[in-house]
Amino acid sequence: MEIYNTMSRQKEEFKPITPGEVKMYVCGPTVYNFIHIGNARPMIFFDTVRRYFEYKGYRVNYVSNFTDVDDKIIKEAKEEGTDANTVSERYIAECRKDMEALNIMPATVNPRATQEIGGMIEMITKLIDKGFAYVAKDGTVYYRTRKFPEYGKLSHKNIDDLRSGERALLVTGEDQKEDPLDFVLWKPKKEGEPSWPSPWCEGRPGWHIECSVMSRKYLGDTLDIHGGGEDLVFPHHENEIAQSEAANGCTFAHYWMHNAFLNIDNRKMSKSLGNFFTVRDIDGKYDPQVLRYFMQTVHYRSPLNFSAELMESAKTSYERICNCAQNLDYLLEKAQDGEMAGEKEALAEADSYRVQFEKAMDDDFNTADAISAIFELVKWINSNTDESSTKAYLEALRKELLTLTDICGLIVEKKKTADPFSEHVEEKIAERQEARRNRDFARADAIRDELRAEGVVLEDTKDGVKWKRA
Ligand code: AMP
Ligand code: ZN
Protein backbone atom coordinates (compact mmCIF):
# COMPACT_ATOMS: atom_id res chain seq x y z
CA MET A 1 0.00 0.00 0.00
CA GLU A 2 1.47 3.36 -1.00
CA ILE A 3 0.79 6.71 0.58
CA TYR A 4 1.86 10.12 -0.70
CA ASN A 5 3.84 11.75 2.07
CA THR A 6 3.81 15.55 2.10
CA MET A 7 7.14 15.39 3.94
CA SER A 8 9.04 13.50 1.21
CA ARG A 9 6.77 14.69 -1.62
CA GLN A 10 6.50 11.18 -2.94
CA LYS A 11 4.54 7.98 -2.55
CA GLU A 12 5.98 5.64 0.05
CA GLU A 13 5.18 2.06 1.01
CA PHE A 14 3.11 2.07 4.21
CA LYS A 15 4.91 0.40 7.09
CA PRO A 16 3.15 0.59 10.44
CA ILE A 17 5.09 1.20 13.65
CA THR A 18 3.36 -1.75 15.27
CA PRO A 19 2.41 -4.60 12.91
CA GLY A 20 -1.34 -4.77 12.37
CA GLU A 21 -1.98 -1.38 13.92
CA VAL A 22 -2.46 2.17 12.60
CA LYS A 23 -2.16 5.24 14.81
CA MET A 24 -3.86 8.16 13.07
CA TYR A 25 -4.41 11.75 14.13
CA VAL A 26 -6.56 14.10 12.06
CA CYS A 27 -6.95 17.78 12.95
CA GLY A 28 -10.60 18.48 13.59
CA PRO A 29 -12.75 21.59 13.32
CA THR A 30 -12.86 24.75 15.39
CA VAL A 31 -16.36 24.65 16.77
CA TYR A 32 -17.93 28.10 16.47
CA ASN A 33 -20.56 27.38 13.83
CA PHE A 34 -22.08 24.50 11.86
CA ILE A 35 -19.38 22.73 9.87
CA HIS A 36 -19.28 23.60 6.18
CA ILE A 37 -18.85 21.07 3.43
CA GLY A 38 -15.18 22.05 3.05
CA ASN A 39 -14.62 20.86 6.63
CA ALA A 40 -16.45 17.68 5.68
CA ARG A 41 -13.88 16.81 3.00
CA PRO A 42 -11.10 15.72 5.42
CA MET A 43 -13.68 14.10 7.71
CA ILE A 44 -15.06 11.96 4.91
CA PHE A 45 -11.73 11.21 3.29
CA PHE A 46 -9.88 10.18 6.44
CA ASP A 47 -12.87 8.12 7.56
CA THR A 48 -12.55 6.20 4.28
CA VAL A 49 -8.81 5.79 4.91
CA ARG A 50 -9.63 4.34 8.30
CA ARG A 51 -12.30 2.05 6.90
CA TYR A 52 -9.90 0.76 4.25
CA PHE A 53 -7.22 -0.01 6.83
CA GLU A 54 -9.81 -1.85 8.90
CA TYR A 55 -10.92 -3.81 5.86
CA LYS A 56 -7.28 -4.78 5.36
CA GLY A 57 -7.26 -6.16 8.88
CA TYR A 58 -5.53 -3.34 10.76
CA ARG A 59 -6.69 -2.15 14.14
CA VAL A 60 -7.02 1.60 13.74
CA ASN A 61 -6.64 3.99 16.62
CA TYR A 62 -8.23 7.15 15.21
CA VAL A 63 -7.95 10.39 17.12
CA SER A 64 -9.45 13.68 15.98
CA ASN A 65 -9.77 16.79 18.12
CA PHE A 66 -12.30 19.55 18.58
CA THR A 67 -10.68 22.97 18.96
CA ASP A 68 -12.96 24.44 21.60
CA VAL A 69 -10.96 27.49 22.68
CA ASP A 70 -10.13 30.02 19.99
CA ASP A 71 -10.63 33.68 19.04
CA LYS A 72 -13.52 32.83 16.72
CA ILE A 73 -15.41 30.95 19.44
CA ILE A 74 -14.87 33.82 21.87
CA LYS A 75 -16.08 36.33 19.26
CA GLU A 76 -19.21 34.26 18.57
CA ALA A 77 -19.91 33.97 22.32
CA LYS A 78 -19.59 37.76 22.74
CA GLU A 79 -21.99 38.37 19.86
CA GLU A 80 -24.51 35.96 21.35
CA GLY A 81 -24.00 37.36 24.87
CA THR A 82 -23.02 33.94 26.18
CA ASP A 83 -19.80 32.14 27.15
CA ALA A 84 -17.36 30.27 24.91
CA ASN A 85 -18.19 26.93 26.47
CA THR A 86 -21.89 27.21 25.56
CA VAL A 87 -20.95 27.96 21.95
CA SER A 88 -18.45 25.10 21.61
CA GLU A 89 -20.69 22.54 23.37
CA ARG A 90 -23.53 23.41 21.02
CA TYR A 91 -21.45 23.12 17.86
CA ILE A 92 -19.72 19.94 18.96
CA ALA A 93 -23.18 18.37 19.34
CA GLU A 94 -24.24 19.73 15.92
CA CYS A 95 -21.01 18.52 14.31
CA ARG A 96 -21.60 15.03 15.68
CA LYS A 97 -25.08 15.01 14.11
CA ASP A 98 -23.58 15.98 10.74
CA MET A 99 -20.90 13.31 11.07
CA GLU A 100 -23.55 10.70 11.76
CA ALA A 101 -25.54 11.80 8.72
CA LEU A 102 -22.36 11.47 6.64
CA ASN A 103 -21.80 8.00 8.10
CA ILE A 104 -18.47 8.99 9.63
CA MET A 105 -17.43 6.41 12.21
CA PRO A 106 -16.99 7.76 15.72
CA ALA A 107 -13.29 8.38 16.43
CA THR A 108 -11.55 6.24 19.01
CA VAL A 109 -11.19 9.51 20.94
CA ASN A 110 -12.33 13.08 20.21
CA PRO A 111 -10.24 15.08 22.67
CA ARG A 112 -11.10 18.71 23.34
CA ALA A 113 -8.49 21.38 23.91
CA THR A 114 -10.09 22.75 27.09
CA GLN A 115 -9.94 19.34 28.72
CA GLU A 116 -6.22 18.90 28.11
CA ILE A 117 -4.80 22.15 29.53
CA GLY A 118 -2.70 20.31 32.16
CA GLY A 119 -0.89 18.34 29.45
CA MET A 120 -0.26 21.51 27.48
CA ILE A 121 1.29 23.25 30.51
CA GLU A 122 3.50 20.19 31.00
CA MET A 123 4.74 20.19 27.39
CA ILE A 124 5.33 23.95 27.37
CA THR A 125 7.34 23.62 30.62
CA LYS A 126 9.43 20.92 29.00
CA LEU A 127 10.06 23.09 25.94
CA ILE A 128 11.15 26.00 28.17
CA ASP A 129 13.45 23.69 30.19
CA LYS A 130 15.06 22.41 26.98
CA GLY A 131 15.56 25.95 25.64
CA PHE A 132 12.98 25.57 22.87
CA ALA A 133 10.65 28.17 24.34
CA TYR A 134 10.91 31.46 26.24
CA VAL A 135 8.68 33.64 28.36
CA ALA A 136 8.19 37.27 27.33
CA LYS A 137 7.66 40.12 29.76
CA ASP A 138 3.87 39.95 29.72
CA GLY A 139 3.85 36.19 30.37
CA THR A 140 3.40 35.11 26.72
CA VAL A 141 5.35 31.94 25.97
CA TYR A 142 6.86 31.66 22.47
CA TYR A 143 8.40 28.75 20.65
CA ARG A 144 12.02 29.52 19.64
CA THR A 145 12.02 28.42 15.99
CA ARG A 146 15.77 29.13 15.51
CA LYS A 147 16.53 26.43 18.02
CA PHE A 148 14.82 23.82 15.81
CA PRO A 149 17.06 23.57 12.73
CA GLU A 150 14.58 21.43 10.80
CA TYR A 151 11.86 24.08 11.02
CA GLY A 152 10.19 24.20 7.58
CA LYS A 153 10.93 20.60 6.61
CA LEU A 154 7.28 19.70 6.01
CA SER A 155 6.22 22.76 4.05
CA HIS A 156 9.50 22.94 2.09
CA LYS A 157 9.49 26.68 2.51
CA ASN A 158 12.59 28.76 2.40
CA ILE A 159 12.65 29.81 6.02
CA ASP A 160 15.01 32.76 5.52
CA ASP A 161 12.69 34.23 2.89
CA LEU A 162 9.78 33.67 5.23
CA ARG A 163 11.66 35.37 8.04
CA SER A 164 12.36 38.50 6.03
CA GLY A 165 8.77 38.55 4.79
CA GLU A 166 7.40 38.18 8.29
CA ARG A 167 9.79 40.77 9.67
CA ALA A 168 8.32 43.35 7.32
CA LEU A 169 4.87 42.39 8.55
CA LEU A 170 5.67 42.52 12.26
CA VAL A 171 2.96 44.43 14.02
CA THR A 172 3.26 46.33 17.27
CA GLY A 173 2.95 44.08 20.25
CA GLU A 174 4.66 41.19 18.54
CA ASP A 175 8.11 42.72 18.82
CA GLN A 176 8.71 40.81 22.01
CA LYS A 177 9.48 37.82 19.76
CA GLU A 178 13.12 36.91 19.25
CA ASP A 179 12.40 35.86 15.68
CA PRO A 180 9.47 36.69 13.40
CA LEU A 181 8.67 32.99 12.94
CA ASP A 182 8.40 32.29 16.66
CA PHE A 183 4.85 31.34 17.55
CA VAL A 184 2.69 31.47 20.65
CA LEU A 185 2.45 28.52 23.01
CA TRP A 186 0.64 30.35 25.80
CA LYS A 187 -0.89 33.82 25.93
CA PRO A 188 -2.16 36.09 28.68
CA LYS A 189 -5.85 36.38 29.34
CA LYS A 190 -7.86 39.27 27.97
CA GLU A 191 -10.96 40.58 29.69
CA GLY A 192 -13.97 38.28 29.24
CA GLU A 193 -11.98 35.38 27.78
CA PRO A 194 -11.77 31.84 29.16
CA SER A 195 -8.49 31.37 31.03
CA TRP A 196 -6.52 28.95 33.16
CA PRO A 197 -3.76 29.48 35.70
CA SER A 198 -0.23 28.62 34.54
CA PRO A 199 3.34 29.17 35.80
CA TRP A 200 3.66 32.13 33.35
CA CYS A 201 0.37 33.97 33.57
CA GLU A 202 -3.35 33.43 33.79
CA GLY A 203 -4.18 32.73 30.17
CA ARG A 204 -4.90 30.24 27.44
CA PRO A 205 -2.94 28.06 25.03
CA GLY A 206 -2.00 28.94 21.47
CA TRP A 207 -3.66 26.80 18.81
CA HIS A 208 -0.80 24.50 17.78
CA ILE A 209 0.13 23.02 21.14
CA GLU A 210 -3.17 21.16 21.60
CA CYS A 211 -2.52 18.73 18.73
CA SER A 212 1.02 17.91 19.91
CA VAL A 213 -0.29 17.18 23.40
CA MET A 214 -3.44 15.29 22.52
CA SER A 215 -1.86 13.11 19.83
CA ARG A 216 0.92 12.13 22.25
CA LYS A 217 -1.52 11.37 25.06
CA TYR A 218 -3.75 9.09 22.99
CA LEU A 219 -1.34 7.68 20.42
CA GLY A 220 2.21 8.02 21.79
CA ASP A 221 5.32 10.00 20.76
CA THR A 222 5.26 8.83 17.13
CA LEU A 223 2.18 8.53 14.93
CA ASP A 224 1.82 6.48 11.79
CA ILE A 225 -0.33 9.03 9.99
CA HIS A 226 -1.07 12.67 10.62
CA GLY A 227 -3.73 14.21 8.43
CA GLY A 228 -5.71 17.35 7.68
CA GLY A 229 -6.50 19.85 4.97
CA GLU A 230 -3.62 21.32 2.97
CA ASP A 231 -4.05 24.74 4.60
CA LEU A 232 -2.71 23.15 7.76
CA VAL A 233 0.73 22.26 6.35
CA PHE A 234 2.05 25.69 7.24
CA PRO A 235 2.16 26.90 9.88
CA HIS A 236 0.02 24.48 11.92
CA HIS A 237 1.66 21.15 11.13
CA GLU A 238 5.11 22.67 10.83
CA ASN A 239 4.64 24.04 14.35
CA GLU A 240 3.27 20.75 15.67
CA ILE A 241 6.43 19.03 14.39
CA ALA A 242 8.68 21.65 16.02
CA GLN A 243 6.87 21.27 19.35
CA SER A 244 6.58 17.48 19.41
CA GLU A 245 10.02 16.60 18.09
CA ALA A 246 11.74 19.10 20.41
CA ALA A 247 9.77 17.89 23.45
CA ASN A 248 9.84 14.14 22.76
CA GLY A 249 13.18 13.84 20.97
CA CYS A 250 11.86 11.60 18.17
CA THR A 251 10.03 11.70 14.82
CA PHE A 252 6.49 12.97 15.26
CA ALA A 253 4.69 11.26 12.36
CA HIS A 254 5.82 8.87 9.63
CA TYR A 255 3.26 9.84 6.97
CA TRP A 256 1.78 13.30 6.46
CA MET A 257 -1.41 13.29 4.40
CA HIS A 258 -3.19 16.44 3.26
CA ASN A 259 -6.40 16.78 1.31
CA ALA A 260 -6.81 19.53 -1.27
CA PHE A 261 -9.55 22.10 -0.93
CA LEU A 262 -13.17 21.93 -1.71
CA ASN A 263 -13.63 25.04 -3.84
CA ILE A 264 -16.57 27.00 -4.99
CA ASP A 265 -16.12 29.00 -8.21
CA ASN A 266 -12.50 27.88 -7.96
CA ARG A 267 -11.92 29.57 -4.59
CA LYS A 268 -11.47 27.75 -1.29
CA MET A 269 -14.76 27.36 0.52
CA SER A 270 -14.31 28.98 3.91
CA LYS A 271 -16.26 30.66 6.63
CA SER A 272 -14.15 33.79 6.47
CA LEU A 273 -14.79 34.28 2.74
CA GLY A 274 -18.50 33.70 3.32
CA ASN A 275 -18.74 31.41 0.25
CA PHE A 276 -19.77 28.30 2.10
CA PHE A 277 -22.61 25.82 2.45
CA THR A 278 -22.98 24.00 5.71
CA VAL A 279 -23.54 20.25 5.73
CA ARG A 280 -26.95 21.12 7.20
CA ASP A 281 -27.80 23.29 4.14
CA ILE A 282 -27.01 20.36 1.88
CA ASP A 283 -28.92 17.92 4.07
CA GLY A 284 -32.12 19.79 3.25
CA LYS A 285 -31.61 19.32 -0.50
CA TYR A 286 -29.78 16.00 -0.88
CA ASP A 287 -29.29 12.80 1.03
CA PRO A 288 -25.95 13.43 2.89
CA GLN A 289 -24.80 10.19 1.28
CA VAL A 290 -24.81 12.00 -2.06
CA LEU A 291 -22.33 14.48 -0.61
CA ARG A 292 -20.19 11.64 0.68
CA TYR A 293 -20.29 10.04 -2.76
CA PHE A 294 -19.48 13.36 -4.48
CA MET A 295 -16.41 13.94 -2.28
CA GLN A 296 -14.94 10.62 -3.30
CA THR A 297 -15.34 11.01 -7.04
CA VAL A 298 -12.10 13.00 -7.11
CA HIS A 299 -8.68 12.05 -5.72
CA TYR A 300 -8.12 13.64 -2.31
CA ARG A 301 -5.05 15.56 -3.45
CA SER A 302 -6.94 17.23 -6.31
CA PRO A 303 -9.11 20.29 -5.77
CA LEU A 304 -12.79 19.61 -5.99
CA ASN A 305 -15.12 22.28 -7.31
CA PHE A 306 -18.57 22.25 -5.80
CA SER A 307 -21.49 22.86 -8.16
CA ALA A 308 -25.16 22.00 -8.39
CA GLU A 309 -24.55 20.14 -11.68
CA LEU A 310 -21.90 17.90 -10.14
CA MET A 311 -24.13 17.20 -7.16
CA GLU A 312 -26.99 16.23 -9.49
CA SER A 313 -24.71 13.90 -11.37
CA ALA A 314 -23.43 12.44 -8.06
CA LYS A 315 -27.05 11.87 -7.03
CA THR A 316 -27.84 9.94 -10.21
CA SER A 317 -24.71 7.79 -9.87
CA TYR A 318 -25.25 7.11 -6.18
CA GLU A 319 -28.85 6.10 -6.85
CA ARG A 320 -27.69 3.63 -9.48
CA ILE A 321 -25.61 1.83 -6.88
CA CYS A 322 -28.54 1.89 -4.43
CA ASN A 323 -30.87 0.47 -7.10
CA CYS A 324 -28.47 -2.38 -7.75
CA ALA A 325 -28.29 -3.24 -4.02
CA GLN A 326 -32.05 -3.05 -3.69
CA ASN A 327 -32.59 -5.14 -6.77
CA LEU A 328 -30.37 -7.83 -5.28
CA ASP A 329 -32.48 -7.76 -2.11
CA TYR A 330 -35.63 -8.09 -4.20
CA LEU A 331 -34.26 -11.07 -6.13
CA LEU A 332 -33.05 -12.65 -2.90
CA GLU A 333 -36.54 -12.67 -1.41
CA LYS A 334 -37.66 -15.10 -4.12
CA ALA A 335 -34.43 -16.91 -4.87
CA GLN A 336 -34.09 -20.67 -4.49
CA ASP A 337 -31.36 -22.64 -2.73
CA GLY A 338 -29.10 -24.81 -4.80
CA GLU A 339 -26.35 -24.27 -7.30
CA MET A 340 -26.51 -23.37 -10.96
CA ALA A 341 -23.93 -24.16 -13.57
CA GLY A 342 -21.54 -21.31 -14.27
CA GLU A 343 -22.23 -19.34 -11.08
CA LYS A 344 -18.87 -20.16 -9.53
CA GLU A 345 -17.01 -18.87 -12.58
CA ALA A 346 -19.24 -15.81 -12.68
CA LEU A 347 -18.44 -15.01 -9.04
CA ALA A 348 -14.74 -15.19 -9.80
CA GLU A 349 -15.31 -12.67 -12.58
CA ALA A 350 -17.26 -10.37 -10.26
CA ASP A 351 -14.44 -10.58 -7.74
CA SER A 352 -12.06 -9.01 -10.24
CA TYR A 353 -13.79 -5.67 -9.52
CA ARG A 354 -12.82 -5.99 -5.86
CA VAL A 355 -9.23 -6.56 -6.97
CA GLN A 356 -9.49 -3.44 -9.15
CA PHE A 357 -10.94 -1.51 -6.21
CA GLU A 358 -8.11 -2.58 -3.92
CA LYS A 359 -5.50 -1.69 -6.50
CA ALA A 360 -6.91 1.84 -6.67
CA MET A 361 -7.07 2.20 -2.89
CA ASP A 362 -3.57 0.77 -2.45
CA ASP A 363 -2.34 3.50 -4.75
CA ASP A 364 -2.57 6.42 -2.31
CA PHE A 365 -6.30 5.97 -1.70
CA ASN A 366 -7.46 6.73 -5.19
CA THR A 367 -11.17 6.83 -4.35
CA ALA A 368 -12.01 8.12 -7.83
CA ASP A 369 -10.80 4.90 -9.45
CA ALA A 370 -12.17 2.81 -6.57
CA ILE A 371 -15.64 4.26 -7.19
CA SER A 372 -15.26 3.45 -10.89
CA ALA A 373 -14.56 -0.17 -9.92
CA ILE A 374 -17.79 -0.19 -7.87
CA PHE A 375 -19.61 1.14 -10.90
CA GLU A 376 -18.28 -1.54 -13.14
CA LEU A 377 -19.32 -4.12 -10.58
CA VAL A 378 -22.82 -2.62 -10.53
CA LYS A 379 -23.03 -2.83 -14.31
CA TRP A 380 -21.80 -6.41 -14.20
CA ILE A 381 -24.30 -7.41 -11.50
CA ASN A 382 -27.17 -5.81 -13.42
CA SER A 383 -26.45 -7.89 -16.48
CA ASN A 384 -25.53 -11.13 -14.69
CA THR A 385 -28.46 -11.61 -12.31
CA ASP A 386 -32.13 -12.41 -12.82
CA GLU A 387 -35.02 -14.40 -11.30
CA SER A 388 -33.23 -17.67 -12.00
CA SER A 389 -30.12 -16.76 -9.95
CA THR A 390 -29.65 -18.86 -6.83
CA LYS A 391 -29.68 -17.58 -3.28
CA ALA A 392 -26.00 -18.31 -2.60
CA TYR A 393 -24.96 -16.57 -5.81
CA LEU A 394 -27.02 -13.45 -5.09
CA GLU A 395 -25.83 -13.36 -1.50
CA ALA A 396 -22.19 -13.55 -2.60
CA LEU A 397 -22.72 -10.66 -5.02
CA ARG A 398 -24.54 -8.64 -2.41
CA LYS A 399 -21.62 -9.14 -0.04
CA GLU A 400 -19.13 -8.21 -2.74
CA LEU A 401 -20.96 -4.95 -3.48
CA LEU A 402 -21.68 -3.98 0.12
CA THR A 403 -18.10 -4.65 1.22
CA LEU A 404 -16.86 -2.10 -1.28
CA THR A 405 -19.55 0.51 -0.67
CA ASP A 406 -19.00 0.13 3.06
CA ILE A 407 -15.28 0.92 2.70
CA CYS A 408 -16.35 4.17 1.04
CA GLY A 409 -18.81 4.68 3.91
CA LEU A 410 -21.77 4.69 1.50
CA ILE A 411 -25.07 3.40 2.76
CA VAL A 412 -26.74 1.87 -0.28
CA GLU A 413 -29.53 -0.18 1.23
CA LYS A 414 -32.78 1.37 2.36
CA LYS A 415 -32.81 1.86 6.10
CA LYS A 416 -35.30 -0.59 7.56
CA THR A 417 -37.83 1.51 9.41
CA ALA A 418 -39.02 -0.19 12.56
CA ASP A 419 -42.70 -0.96 12.66
CA PRO A 420 -43.91 0.33 16.05
CA PHE A 421 -46.68 -2.29 16.32
CA SER A 422 -44.24 -5.19 15.72
CA GLU A 423 -41.89 -3.67 18.26
CA HIS A 424 -44.73 -3.52 20.81
CA VAL A 425 -45.69 -7.17 20.18
CA GLU A 426 -42.04 -8.30 20.45
CA GLU A 427 -41.72 -6.48 23.77
CA LYS A 428 -44.87 -8.16 25.12
CA ILE A 429 -43.62 -11.57 23.98
CA ALA A 430 -40.31 -10.99 25.77
CA GLU A 431 -42.22 -9.97 28.91
CA ARG A 432 -44.33 -13.14 28.67
CA GLN A 433 -41.22 -15.30 28.33
CA GLU A 434 -39.76 -13.63 31.40
CA ALA A 435 -42.97 -14.34 33.35
CA ARG A 436 -42.83 -18.00 32.28
CA ARG A 437 -39.19 -18.30 33.35
CA ASN A 438 -40.31 -16.98 36.75
CA ARG A 439 -43.13 -19.55 36.74
CA ASP A 440 -45.64 -16.68 36.88
CA PHE A 441 -48.09 -18.45 34.57
CA ALA A 442 -50.98 -16.21 35.51
CA ARG A 443 -49.01 -13.17 34.22
CA ALA A 444 -47.92 -15.07 31.10
CA ASP A 445 -51.56 -15.98 30.30
CA ALA A 446 -52.69 -12.43 30.97
CA ILE A 447 -50.17 -11.13 28.39
CA ARG A 448 -51.38 -13.71 25.86
CA ASP A 449 -54.97 -12.51 26.43
CA GLU A 450 -53.95 -8.85 26.14
CA LEU A 451 -52.33 -9.54 22.79
CA ARG A 452 -55.31 -11.58 21.62
CA ALA A 453 -57.53 -8.60 22.39
CA GLU A 454 -55.24 -6.58 20.07
CA GLY A 455 -55.74 -9.15 17.31
CA VAL A 456 -52.45 -11.00 17.78
CA VAL A 457 -52.25 -14.79 17.96
CA LEU A 458 -49.22 -16.40 19.58
CA GLU A 459 -47.90 -19.79 18.64
CA ASP A 460 -45.31 -21.63 20.74
CA THR A 461 -42.96 -23.48 18.39
CA LYS A 462 -39.68 -25.32 18.89
CA ASP A 463 -37.94 -22.24 17.40
CA GLY A 464 -39.51 -19.90 19.94
CA VAL A 465 -42.69 -17.89 20.00
CA LYS A 466 -44.11 -16.85 16.62
CA TRP A 467 -46.96 -14.39 16.15
CA LYS A 468 -49.46 -13.47 13.50
CA ARG A 469 -52.41 -11.16 13.16
CA ALA A 470 -55.69 -13.00 13.74
P1 AMP B 1 -11.01 24.60 10.57
O2 AMP B 1 -12.27 24.48 11.33
O3 AMP B 1 -10.95 25.78 9.61
O4 AMP B 1 -9.79 24.52 11.46
O5 AMP B 1 -10.90 23.33 9.59
C6 AMP B 1 -11.04 21.99 9.99
C7 AMP B 1 -10.52 21.08 8.91
O8 AMP B 1 -11.20 21.33 7.67
C9 AMP B 1 -9.04 21.28 8.59
O10 AMP B 1 -8.44 20.01 8.32
C11 AMP B 1 -9.05 22.15 7.34
O12 AMP B 1 -7.89 22.00 6.58
C13 AMP B 1 -10.26 21.58 6.63
N14 AMP B 1 -10.85 22.51 5.65
C15 AMP B 1 -11.36 23.74 5.89
N16 AMP B 1 -11.85 24.30 4.75
C17 AMP B 1 -11.65 23.39 3.75
C18 AMP B 1 -11.96 23.34 2.34
N19 AMP B 1 -12.57 24.36 1.73
N20 AMP B 1 -11.61 22.24 1.66
C21 AMP B 1 -11.03 21.20 2.26
N22 AMP B 1 -10.71 21.16 3.56
C23 AMP B 1 -11.01 22.23 4.32
ZN1 ZN C 1 -3.82 20.06 14.54
pLDDT reading at 370 higher than 90: yes
Q: Which residues line ligand 1 (CB under 6 A)?
A: 27, 29-30, 38-39, 41-42, 228-229, 231-232, 259, 261-262, 268-270
Nearest ligand 1 atom to alpha carbon 268: 19
**Interval between CA 277 and ligand 1 midpoint (Å):** 13
- φ/ψ of 461, rounded to 5, equals -120, 175
pLDDT value, residue 434? 84
Nearest to 294 by CA among 275, 271, 313, 272: 313
Please, which residues have CB less than 5 A from ligand 2, an ion? 27, 211
Main-chain phi, psi angles of 468, to 5 degrees: -145, 160
What is residue 160's predicted lDDT score, i.e. its pLDDT? 85
pLDDT of residue 418: 57
Of 47, 467, 76, 18, nearest to 292 by C-alpha is: 47
Q: How far is the CA of 170 from the centre of ligand 2 (A)?
A: 24
Note the pLDDT of residue 467: 86
What pLDDT score was predicted for residue 170? 56
Per-residue confidence (pLDDT) for residue 161, from 0 to 100: 82
How do residues 28-50 score in pLDDT, each as one tens digit? 999 999 999 999 999 999 999 99
Domains and CATH numbers, the chain: 2-259 (3.40.50.620), 282-407 (1.10.730.10), 420-469 (no CATH)
As a whole number, the mean pLDDT across the chain is 93
pLDDT of residue 239 exceeding 60, the answer is yes
pLDDT-based confidence at residue 373 (cuts at 50, 70, 90): very high
Residue 11: strand, helix, or coil: strand
Q: In angstroms, rounded to a whole number, what is the distance separating the alpha carbons of residues 360 and 369?
A: 6
The beta strands (E) that lie in 42-130 are given as: 59-64
Q: What backbone phi and psi angles, to 5 degrees, belong to 24?
A: -120, 140
pLDDT, tens digit (0-9, with 9 covering 90-100), for 284-336: 889 999 999 999 999 999 999 999 999 999 999 999 999 999 999 999 999 99
Task: Give yes or no for a cis peptide into 288 (omega within 30° of 0).
Answer: no
Q: What is the rounded CA–CA span in Å between residue 35 and residue 245?
A: 31
Distance (angstroms) between ligand 2 centre and the Cα of 123 equals 15
Residue minimizing CA distance to atom 17 of ligand 1:
38
Residues 6+ apart with CB under 8 A from 316: none
What pLDDT was estimated at residue 438? 85
pLDDT band at 417 (very low <50, low <70, confident <90, very high): low
> Helix axis angle, 367-383 relative to 343-362, nearest 10°?
170
* pLDDT at residue 168, as a whole number: 57
Chain centre distance of CA 231: 18
Q: How far apart are CA 359 and CA 81, in angstroms?
A: 53
Among 238-247, 296-305, 418-427, whose mean pLDDT is lowest?
418-427
Q: In the predicted model, what is the mean pLDDT of residues 142-167?
A: 89
pLDDT-based confidence at residue 379 (cuts at 50, 70, 90): very high
Chain segment 97-127, per-residue pLDDT in tens? 999 999 999 999 999 999 999 999 999 999 9
Whether 279 contacts 102, CB under 8 Å: yes
Q: Whose CA is nearest to atom 21 of ligand 1?
A: 261
Quick one: pLDDT at residue 464?
Answer: 77
What is the model's pLDDT at position 416?
52
Bridging pattern class, strands 223-229 and 253-259: parallel
* Torsion (CA) 127, 132, 136, 139 in degrees, nearest 10: -10
- The two beta strands, 304-305 and 262-264, are parallel
Ligand 2 centroid–CA 214 distance in Å is: 9
200-212 tens-digit pLDDT: 999 999 999 999 9
Residue 295 has a pLDDT of 97
SS3 105: coil
